[in-house]
Amino acid sequence: MIEMFKPSRVAGLAVALATLFGAAGLSQPAWAEGGEQPTRQQWSFAGPFGRYDQGQLQRGFKVYREVCSACHSLHRVAFRTLADHGGPGFTEGQVKALAAEYTVMDVPNDKGEVLERKGRPADYFPLVYPNDQAAAVANNGAVPPDMSLLAKARGVKSGFPGFVFDIFTQYQEQGPDYIHALITDGYLKDDEKPPEGVTVPPNGHYNKIFGASIGMAKPLADGQVEYTDGAPQTVDQYTRDVAAFLAWAADPSLEKRKQTGFVVIIFLIVLAGLLYYTKKKIWADAH
């Protein structure tokens, strides 16, 4: 037993634990260095029993279509998923009509020609630009990122001991928090200036959350998108809704995954109890 706690082994254990904590601490990625920490928001899909708000997803999709889709693609999302359980809850007829509003490239015909046709529910949202070069030309040299996985690709720093609490609370909403903060809090007000030493290029916009200049001007303003369900028509609400929609787009099976996990936990608890009492009965007469 004493052999196990030699100084060299203790040092090795310390290094291993430090590496583990560093990996679990969600280290801040290079693109976010210098940016301010986003404020954590309350989301209906947070926690082990969280679920997407169907009305919010529908509003978020409306914001995406009317504002974000002018520059940002959603190329990894199929039209049909908009009618899946746990999603925005559109009907099959609505999805079919929506898909038909888009033009997609068909498979090559017998002559090797690729022709355009109306979209179908099985198709994916088409690219806004045919390639990155065309996107850069249209956006002052910046290529707008695809939004399909944006809510998973964006994160915030949560170092020790914060990540320990995140493990127990199952905090996974870094992406939506970041998207919300980027738009609502990131852009400088009229009386604010970039930090000393930071140069903002022509047509650039310094963003405090991003921690650098970005090519996108603030995309939303109060009253810009009309809601019909009585929800506030404010930048804060627009951003919450589109962030929630992008969270769903990046993780459409969240509700099913949580339900499956809950069933598995219950099964493991019951199994552990059965194994315990089985062990007691088998070894009851042993000395």
| pLDDT at residue 1 greater than cutoff 80 | no
Residues linked to residue 104 through DSSP beta bridges, in sequence order: 117
DSSP 66: H
Residues linked to residue 212 through DSSP beta bridges, in sequence order: 207
Residue 217 falls inside a structural domain: yes
pLDDT of residue 157: 62
The pTM of this model reads 0.81
Which two structure tokens, joined as six digits, stand for 194? 């970039």
For residue 49, give the nearest of 277, 263, 278 by alpha carbon. Answer: 263
Which whole number is the average pLDDT over 209-237? 95
Distance in angstroms between the alpha carbons of the first and the last residue of the chain? 26
| pLDDT at residue 68 greater than cutoff 90 | yes
pLDDT of residue 202: 87
pLDDT of residue 45: 95
Please tell me the distance from the alpha carbon of residue 136 to that of residue 72, in angstroms, as a whole number. Answer: 12
| pLDDT at residue 5 greater than cutoff 50 | no
| pLDDT at residue 13 greater than cutoff 70 | no
Neighbours of 214 (CB within 10 A): 17
pLDDT of residue 203: 85
Please tell me the distance from the alpha carbon of residue 60 to that of residue 63, in angstroms, as a whole number. Answer: 5
Which two structure tokens, joined as six digits, stand for 233? 């028509």
DSSP 118: E
Residue 165 falls inside a structural domain: yes
pLDDT of residue 89: 95
Domain hosting residue 9, numbered range: 2-77+125-272
Which two structure tokens, joined as six digits, stand for 51? 């679920």
Residue 105 falls inside a structural domain: no
Phi–psi pair at 206, nearest 5 degrees: -75, 135
pLDDT of residue 9: 46
Question: Mind listing the pLDDT tens digit for each residue in 172-209?
Answer: 899 999 999 999 999 999 889 999 888 898 888 999 99
pLDDT of residue 30: 35
For residue 252, give the nearest of 26, 43, 24, 54 by alpha carbon. Answer: 54
Question: Mind listing the pLDDT tens digit for each residue in 149-177?
Answer: 999 987 666 666 666 666 666 678 999 99
Number of domains in the chain: 1
Kindly report the average pLDDT of the chain as a whole number.
Answer: 85
Neighbours of 253 (CB within 10 A): 14
Q: Angle between the 7-24 and 162-169 helix axes, to the nearest 10 degrees?
A: 60
DSSP 284: T
Which two structure tokens, joined as six digits, stand for 221? 């303003």
pLDDT of residue 2: 37
pLDDT of residue 115: 83
Residue 278 falls inside a structural domain: no
Residue 90 falls inside a structural domain: no
- Split at pLDDT 50, 70, 90, the class of 55 is very high
Residue 99 falls inside a structural domain: no
Residue 280 falls inside a structural domain: no
Please tell me the distance from the alpha carbon of residue 284 to that of residue 287, in angstroms, as a whole number. Answer: 8
Question: Mind listing the pLDDT tens digit for each residue in 94-145?
Answer: 999 999 999 998 877 777 777 889 999 999 999 999 999 999 999 988 899 9
Residue 241 falls inside a structural domain: yes
Which CATH number characterizes residue 236's domain?
1.10.760.10
The CA–CA distances, whole Å, from 65 to 102, 122, 128, 133, 192 equal 12, 19, 12, 23, 31
Please tell me the distance from the alpha carbon of residue 118 to that of residue 108, in angstroms, as a whole number. Answer: 15
193 half-sphere exposure, CB direction, 13 A CA radius: 5
pLDDT of residue 71: 95
pLDDT of residue 136: 92
- For residue 82, with 0-12 CB atoms within 10 Å meaning exposed, 13-18 middle and 19 or more buried, which class applies? buried
The CA–CA distances, whole Å, from 265 to 24, 259, 261, 268 equal 22, 10, 6, 5
| pLDDT at residue 283 greater than cutoff 80 | yes
